[in-house]
Amino acid sequence: MIPVLDWTQAQGDRAGFTADLGRAVRDTGFFLLVNAQVPETLRDDVFRLADAFFGQPRAEKAKLSILDTPHFRGWAKPGDESLDETRPEVDTKETFNIGYDLAPDDPRVMANAPFRGVNRWPDIPGFADTMLAYYNACQVQASALLSVMAEDLGLSADHFAPLFTEPLSAMRLLHYPPATGAGNEIGAGAHTDYGAITLLMTDGEPGLQVRPRAGDWTDVPQVPGAYVVNIGDCLMRWTNDIYVSTPHRVLPPKRQRRSVAFFCEADPDALVEALPGTGPAKYPPIRAADYLASRLAATYAPKDTT
């Protein structure tokens, strides 16, 4: 069962909200968040502009191919990604990735530092400004949730704050075409997310499923206006496996499906190691950027589908 949490409770009953969140992230690692602080009008604008982008001719979208940059910014066509590394199917979704925004003359961009490239924008009025406003709003919401999680773990509320100042966080627009009926289709293969926490907004079309520990695949319930929030592998590692990063997938939808994912990641040099009070470390320390690089390399590796 995936619980529904109300963000307004965190303002009036912080202890109660923290307890509810703590149970959710230790059990399935998923919860639905209603009344989030991201403005609804901004969400609507993001979906509208995402539709405008994905509705362009393939040749136009290909000018911004994610494969043309080492910084994972831009458009990924169906088949570019394979989230389930154990199966031959490639994902039918197409995506557009946006990262932490830097100017072309930023020293990190000039030095070609990993994950520190410039964003690549289509020629759609208002697209860049709207997407960056949404990116920033989601980062604020994710940081607020991390503050609650820190308290749940017995740490100070601001424990994570200095580790998420110029983050590796990524925003992803997703479009899933309707299923064709072929038996080997998958919208997005079974996977766990790589980062700290994910905030997912969908258009309400079904398809997202999770597989809890010792359980079978189950549909994520549709609650209008709710974010689907889940723990990523990096935070599970940080918490020494106290929090759970749960496999999930997207089945090929009957109709087109659209969603917007915000993957909250730490700063590149943040050291991911067992948090105080979580017991003997199960994993060696690793830089957040190095961990992310290792996971993305597998996602974009060519797959033999013969």
Say which residue the tokens 């400004």 belong to.
129
Kindly state whether residue 74 falls inside one of the protein's structural domains: yes
Q: Which residues contact 228 (CB under 8 A, 6 or more apart)?
A: 30, 32, 198, 199, 200, 201, 202, 208, 220
Q: Which residues contact 218 (CB under 8 A, 6 or more apart)?
A: 209, 210, 211, 212
167-222 confidence digits (pLDDT tens): 999 999 999 999 887 777 888 989 999 999 999 999 999 999 999 988 899 999 99
List the CATH number of the domain containing 33.
2.60.120.330
234-258 confidence digits (pLDDT tens): 999 999 999 999 999 999 888 999 9
Q: Which of the four pLDDT bands, split at 50, 70 and 90, describes residue 88?
A: low
- One-letter amino acid identity for 155? L
- Domains contained in the chain, number: 1
Kindly state whether residue 304 falls inside one of the protein's structural domains: no
304 pLDDT above the threshold of 70 = no
Kindly state whether residue 244 falls inside one of the protein's structural domains: yes
Kindly state whether residue 234 falls inside one of the protein's structural domains: yes
Per the structure, the complete domain to which residue 124 belongs is given by: 4-299
Kindly state whether residue 255 falls inside one of the protein's structural domains: yes
Average pLDDT, the chain: 93
